[in-house]
Amino acid sequence: MNESGNIDVPVILSQVTYLEMVSDPRAQPVDLGKFSMRRVENMSVGDYLDIYREVGRDYLWNYRPGQSAEEIRAILTSPATWMYLLLADDRAVGMAELDATIPDDIELVHFGLLPCFLNQGIGKLFLHNVISLVWRSGARRMWLSTCGLDHPKAIRFYEAAGFVPFKTKMGEFKDWRFTGFYDMADAPQIPYGKRPSGEEPR
């Protein structure tokens, strides 16, 4: 991984949408069929980055590439981090990472499945169970953000689960393909970023 968060990485501009759920949806846990859901505490940095890349590479997930192993380890070992994996035959095929630093105002930081498990309905059930866990914890609000680099159906997916948009803004995202965290061939639908000066990267 690249541990230099201050290097001159080309950037991509994209609109960010914030969504929230402010009333208990009374969501009861549902059967995941051949899948299972497991909370993982003290996950190793290596295992975390493996699933992070597999799930996030098509959308250039931006939070972790510029962080050091020590910074990520601190997040993973924090009691405020709730990490859930979606499993198929003990293989991690999805992840849900929540930040419960404020116990009654919980952020869904990352959520996604491996590409080959999309469009099968399991993501909806996985999210439903995550929402159920959050509200059973005593939360009064659950929120998340998504952007134009994400899956094109992301906003509709979260709205269907009961989230409501409450704010938008323009965001700046580093193109970590240029650092080796992601491959240059990843996320081909997303144009390469530009230097802050507007200069095309070489």
pLDDT for 3: 46
Neighbours of 109 (CB within 10 A): 17
Q: Consecutive sets of 10 residues in the chain, 202 residues long: mean pLDDT of each?
A: 62 98 94 95 95 97 96 97 96 97 97 93 96 97 98 96 98 96 97 77 56
Query: Between 2.30.30.30, 3.90.190.20, 3.40.630.30, 3.30.365.10, what CATH number should domain 11-179 receive?
Result: 3.40.630.30
pLDDT for 140: 97
What residues does each domain of the chain span?
Answer: 11-179
Q: Which of 58, 54, 48, 59 is nearest to 81 (CA)?
A: 48
pLDDT for 79: 96
pLDDT for 4: 45
Report which residue type is found at 174.
K
Neighbours of 195 (CB within 10 A): 15
pLDDT for 7: 66
Contact criterion met (CB below 8 Å) for 173 and 12: yes
pLDDT for 8: 85
Residue-wise pLDDT for 135-185, tens only, equals 999 999 999 999 999 999 999 999 999 999 999 999 999 999 999 999 999
